């Protein structure tokens, strides 16, 4: 019995070392994401690779897989739990199966801008949320910005009634579903990799995303209208598995974390630039017309969507929502 246990223990240890590619000579970190390389996340991942491979040469290598080449966001966290990938940065809207608390980031019209999001993330409640997925064997290592979301569609949207009956692709978030139901639209949960084709074939009418994603994935080429709604945030949780993180020698873990923090700061700088540059590129392309809402119009959207907050208050926690409000 004791011998069987020992053999089992040894096999598990060997399997872990094998699946994480932790060997005496070299540790390999696979970083999987779904966006293009010319985005805040794509650039952050490449910066992380460069910093790690410069500072930990011969000890750690980083392989970056962009554009859902390795895993889509619906699979990456399961793959991470199994040790098939070590780093990812899914959108905060994609953690529903792992914690309900991160749903705070999806509440419509909660954050007034990305600076408020940053203040919340770096505050006490935001930092606590990095550990909200621990019970599932995952560890949040930091937040990365992309930006505020805009709404694109095949028809013009000025008031909430313009969305009635229209089909919008959403990420796998119940809050986002409720947000569209609040304006009598149909919400369709689909992976990011399918959005362009769904829009192009008119299987759906529209979607919500940041200027950077709308530009880099060419959604603007197949959507006639974009409403600059800034109604929500699309940011990322940089995540690893607890077992991989613990398996790293202490000094290496410290250097990897330092490189990650630097890469995140770099990615955040790119995010700030892209939210104006990519918007301008879309304007210049003349492929989509951009609707800017008047204060009165925007207030109609706020009133239509804000009841969603109450519905999710218990799952998220009132203290978390209040901290987010205070960050404005």
Q: Are 278 and 216 in contact (CB under 8 A)?
A: yes
CB of residue 310 to ligand SIN, shortest distance in Å: 25
CB of residue 233 to ligand SIN, shortest distance in Å: 11
Q: Are 95 and 174 in contact (CB under 8 A)?
A: no
Residue closer to ligand SIN, measured from CB, 204 or 234: 234
Residue closer to ligand SIN, measured from CB, 35 or 256: 35
By CB under 6 A, residue 211 contacts ligand SIN: no
> Could you give the CA distance from residue 224 to residue 220 in angstroms, rounded to a whole number?
7
CA 83 and chain centroid, separation: 20
Residues 129-168 that bind ligand SIN (CB under 6 A): 146
By CB under 6 A, residue 171 contacts ligand SIN: yes
Residue closer to ligand SIN, measured from CB, 190 or 242: 190
# residues contacting ligand SIN (CB under 6 A): 9
Q: Which residues fall within 8 angstroms of residue 96, CB to CB, at 6 or more apart?
A: 103, 172, 173, 174
Length of the chain: 328
CB of residue 209 to ligand SIN, shortest distance in Å: 5
> Could you give the CA distance from residue 84 to residue 133 in angstroms, rounded to a whole number?
18
CB of residue 235 to ligand SIN, shortest distance in Å: 9
By CB under 6 A, residue 34 contacts ligand SIN: yes
CB of residue 85 to ligand SIN, shortest distance in Å: 15
Name the one residue in this structure whose structure tokens are 């994603």: 213
Residue closer to ligand SIN, measured from CB, 237 or 260: 237
* DSSP assignment string, 85-123: -SEE--BGGG-TTT-SGGGGGGSTT--SSHHHHHHHHHS
CB of residue 112 to ligand SIN, shortest distance in Å: 21
Name the one residue in this structure whose structure tokens are 């969603």: 308
CB of residue 234 to ligand SIN, shortest distance in Å: 6
- The secondary element (H helix, E strand) that includes residue 226 is strand 225-228
Residue 269 token pair? 């700088």
Residue closer to ligand SIN, measured from CB, 171 or 291: 171
By CB under 6 A, residue 35 contacts ligand SIN: yes
- Fill in the DSSP letter of residue 294: P
Q: Are 71 and 191 in contact (CB under 8 A)?
A: no
Site string for ligand SIN, 265-304 (x = CB under 6 A): ----------------------------------------
Burial environment of residue 104 by CB neighbours within 10 A (0 to 12, 13 to 18, 19 or more): buried
Residue closer to ligand SIN, measured from CB, 93 or 139: 93
Residues 49-108 that bind ligand SIN (CB under 6 A): 91
Nearest to 237 by CA among 96, 61, 92, 114: 92
Where on the chain is the footprint of ligand SIN (CB under 6 A)?
A: 34-35, 91, 146, 171, 192, 209, 213, 234
């Amino acid at each position: 019995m004791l011998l069987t246990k020992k053999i089992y223990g040894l096999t598990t240890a060997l399997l872990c070392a094998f699946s994480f590619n932790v060997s005496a000579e070299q540790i390999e970190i696979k970083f999987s994401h779904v966006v293009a390389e010319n985005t805040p996340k794509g650039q952050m991942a490449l910066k992380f690779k460069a910093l790690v491979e410069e500072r930990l040469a011969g000890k750690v290598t980083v392989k970056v897989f962009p554009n859902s080449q390795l895993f889509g966001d619906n699979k990456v966290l399961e793959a991470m739990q199994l040790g098939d990938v070590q780093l990812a940065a899914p959108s905060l809207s994609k953690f529903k199966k792992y914690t309900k608390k991160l749903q705070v980031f999806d509440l419509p019209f909660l954050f007034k801008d990305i600076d408020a999001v940053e203040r919340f993330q770096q505050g006490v409640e935001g930092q606590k949320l990095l550990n909200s997925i621990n019970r599932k064997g995952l560890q949040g290592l930091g937040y990365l910005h992309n930006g505020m979301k805009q709404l694109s569609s095949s028809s013009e949207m000025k008031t909430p009634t313009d969305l009635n009956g229209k089909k919008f692709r959403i990420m796998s978030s119940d809050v986002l579903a409720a947000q569209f139901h609040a304006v009598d639209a149909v919400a369709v949960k689909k992976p990011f990799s399918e959005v362009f084709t769904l829009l192009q074939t008119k299987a759906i009418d529209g979607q919500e995303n940041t200027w950077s994603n709308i530009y880099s994935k060419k959604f603007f080429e197949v959507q006639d209208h974009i409403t600059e709604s800034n109604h929500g945030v699309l940011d990322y949780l940089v995540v690893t598995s607890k077992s991989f993180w613990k398996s790293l020698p202490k000094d290496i873990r410290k250097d990897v974390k330092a490189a990650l923090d630097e890469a995140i700061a770099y990615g955040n700088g790119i995010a700030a630039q892209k939210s104006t540059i990519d918007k301008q590129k879309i304007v210049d392309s003349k492929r989509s017309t951009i609707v800017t809402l008047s204060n009165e119009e925007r207030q109609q959207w706020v009133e239509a969507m804000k009841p969603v907050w109450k519905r999710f208050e218990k799952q998220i926690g009132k203290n978390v929502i209040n901290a987010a409000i205070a960050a404005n």
